[in-house]
Amino acid sequence: MASSGRIVLFMFLGSFMWFNAQNSFVSCALTSKLQRKIAKINKEGPYLGLIIPNSFELNPLLQNPGYTPSDNIIDFAGRRFRFGAIGHKPVILVMTGLSVINAAITTQLLLSFFTVDGVVHYGIAGNANPTLHIGDVAIPQYWAHLALWSWQRYGQGGDDTLPLENNGDYTRDVGYLKFADFTSNLSAGSTFDNQLNNLWYQPEEIFPVDGIPEQRQHALWVPVHSNYYRIAKKLEELKLEACIDTTTCLTSTPKVVLVERGASAGFYLDNAAYRTFIYNKFNVSPVDMESASVALICLQQRIPFIAIRALSDLAGGGTSESNEADTFSPLAATNSVAVVIQFVKLLSHHSK
């Protein structure tokens, strides 16, 4: 009886696991019903894809009178695709969630399933540029992912070949960060080294849709679409909000600024030393965790792209006690939405 009882139990558990696996598959599968709904929605395009990191950046757009929602919503693969219009331009809104991985997945889903003729990515960001201020909206011409590294072993230096460098996997062309340069509390004239050694920055491997499959190319500084950038220049006189309420205001009036470079990485940058390093080395202004992923996917899919990021804080702060991001993130999110609304209206006008 004990043996037969175990057999029955195993059969039940096996059936239960199979049932759950089937339901899990069905819940995320591209069913025929969903395919028909997507095909119908795509006939109303092409759309401009608006890719947004978080809900506190999405909600101000949903509440903005410049955005007109439709009744169409598609939930797929953990993402919600909202449809509507800004001015006369049909748009798709989708939230990525935090990080370079989520941003890349979401962007690829958007471009794979929907008829999209361009992408605008917006949100808030930290700031590495000391000439800019909290509340400013920065629009870079180039984006890079600065968290792909070759971390060099201790004892080697700039004249030593990196592992797999001769295969074309890694390069010393971009440059490196030497950890020993950031040692503190040294007496005058003394030198110091540590075993962390050098971190060499690397370009991403990319596989464009018009390239040869599995034949890699490389990209570091990904340009935004040249026409989008020209249109964005017309936003430099746009009036932005400076106050959260009647008592909490910025000391300077925010502005729209076109800058050379922005950077993304899979970490929240709140360190003044590293902020200063990447600004001096790469001329980076906004720093975030998503934009470069969106840029790299759009580059590979040959889709026009631009990113609009409002600055919520000086990365690393002016002092160890300051906490600007907690205070001014809502204001920065509101300003980023105001710029996006005007940009899409201008883009729609120029597309006629």
Each residue's pLDDT tens digit, 57-103:
999 999 999 999 999 999 999 999 999 999 999 999 999 999 999 99
**165 in the same domain as 93:** no
Give the pLDDT of residue 315: 87
**92 in the same domain as 44:** yes
Q: What's the domain range around 165?
A: 151-182
Q: 249 falls in which pLDDT band (50, 70, 90)?
A: confident
What's 120's domain CATH number?
3.40.50.1580
**326 in the same domain as 249:** yes
Amino acid identity of residue 200, one-letter, is: W
- 265 inside domain: yes
**237 in the same domain as 108:** yes
- 188 inside domain: no
Tally of domains within the chain: 2
**125 in the same domain as 266:** yes
For residue 208, pLDDT over 50 is answered with yes
Tokens of 223: 């340009």
Give the pLDDT of residue 318: 67
Q: How large is the C-alpha radius of gyration of the chain?
A: 24
**41 in the same domain as 68:** yes
For the entire predicted model, the pTM comes to: 0.88
Q: In 3D, which of 101, 44, 57, 48 has the Cα closest to residue 78?
A: 101
Tell me how far apart the alpha carbons of residues 141 and 304 are, in angstroms, rounded to a whole number: 13
- 309 inside domain: yes
**247 in the same domain as 162:** no
**252 in the same domain as 122:** yes
Give the pLDDT of residue 252: 86
Tell me how far apart the alpha carbons of residues 291 and 52 are, in angstroms, rounded to a whole number: 10
Q: 211 falls in which pLDDT band (50, 70, 90)?
A: very high
pLDDT digits (tens, 9 = 90+) for 265-302: 999 999 999 999 999 999 999 999 999 999 999 999 99
Give the pLDDT of residue 119: 98
**277 in the same domain as 172:** no
CA distances 300 to 66, 150, 315, 349, Å, are: 31, 23, 30, 27
**107 in the same domain as 68:** yes
Give the pLDDT of residue 2: 47
**228 in the same domain as 155:** no
Give the pLDDT of residue 352: 59
**238 in the same domain as 326:** yes
User: Where does the chain show beta strands of DSSP type E?
Assistant: 47-52, 67-76, 79-86, 89-95, 116-127, 137-145, 149-151, 176-178, 198-201, 204-206, 217-219, 222-223, 256-264, 284-288, 305-314
